[in-house]
Structure 1
């Protein structure tokens, strides 16, 4: 409900920049797949969107006769390449929280908990993903934590997910994956959205998000295509 709460992924790929890139490389006839953490303007320019949970499935359904451009998260895109074997050109963007995790910081916490398993989000750098026992979306982390026989689980993603996991998986010892900085895996944008602001939003029905109808319609196409391909 805070209109100033942004996202480093959204900021890494502006619609005007993507439009210019596609125009410059029109000869490639890119099939554009956008991670859902992007603006409506970017969604309007792409063929289909995806989440971290369904990205491999969506990419596998992309036309075989067209090169794929994956925006805006290059780490997620690289992980999807590894999962699917589909080659893609990757936009140079990332989630600033997940790139704060390093191989060194995760190895240190693994040394402190030698019997722990590691679950990491695919937005993490490859060096971190290689240390993980499971790489998956936040939703699938719940399933993994519930079903692993391990009691100690190191969770490598934004800190807010740990709060939810502790409610969903109360019988396990969930350990926050550390970063090499003092930010403690907190997304400053997410933390701008408070309970008080949510109450104000529901009470006053604002601030409003209004989209030009042309952008809304085009963005809807990529969203509906994702839903159809996820059935």
Structure 2
């Protein structure tokens, strides 16, 4: 009742029942883009709460509320900066990707690591 004018945006990894009643289904990047470009001012976000800080920081003029304030993805919390540094320094963790997938992903990966 408090947010009747809000757009409800959920991540595609939420349950089918939640997706069915959402206004939009967006990836994390899609949420960031949609909220930034939207004329609407009120949003309810159904995804891992870690993204809320960034959404609010990048859109201070908009009201952004978590659908569930304890939505925490345990897999996202497994990696911290210390573990990333260790992995880079030790070159210990290797990820094997099938060639057909790698050939499709290489340009996106190169853009992500490109130094400007």
1:177 aligns with 2:63: no
Give TM-score scaled by structure 1 length: 0.40
The 1:162–1:207 alpha-carbon spacing in structure 2 relative to 1, beyond 3 Å, is farther
Distance 1:132 1:159 in 2: 17
Partner of 1:191: 77
Distance 2:75 2:30 in 1: 23
The 1:219–1:142 alpha-carbon spacing in structure 2 relative to 1, beyond 3 Å, is same
Distance 1:224 1:167 in 2: 36
Bigger Rg over Cα: 1
The 1:191–1:225 alpha-carbon spacing in structure 2 relative to 1, beyond 3 Å, is closer
The alpha carbon displacement at 1:169 in A equals 2.1
The 1:116–1:161 alpha-carbon spacing in structure 2 relative to 1, beyond 3 Å, is same
Give TM-score scaled by structure 2 length: 0.73
SS of the residue corresponding to residue 154 of structure 1 reads: strand
The 1:227–1:210 alpha-carbon spacing in structure 2 relative to 1, beyond 3 Å, is closer
Distance 2:105 2:71 in 1: 29
Structure 2: gaps spanning 5 or more residues: 108-116
The 1:168–1:206 alpha-carbon spacing in structure 2 relative to 1, beyond 3 Å, is farther
1:123 aligns with 2:13: yes
Distance 1:168 1:198 in 2: 27
Q: 1:223 aligns with which of 96, 99, 102?
A: 102
Distance 1:166 1:225 in 2: 33
Distance 2:85 2:63 in 1: 35
Aligned positions, number:
107
The runs of at least 4 consecutive aligned structure 1 residues that moved more than 3 Å come to none
Q: 1:149 aligns with which of 31, 36, 39?
A: 39
The 1:223–1:199 alpha-carbon spacing in structure 2 relative to 1, beyond 3 Å, is closer
Q: 2:86 aligns with which of 197, 201, 210?
A: 201
**What is the root-mean-square deviation of aligned Cα atoms in Å?**
2.7
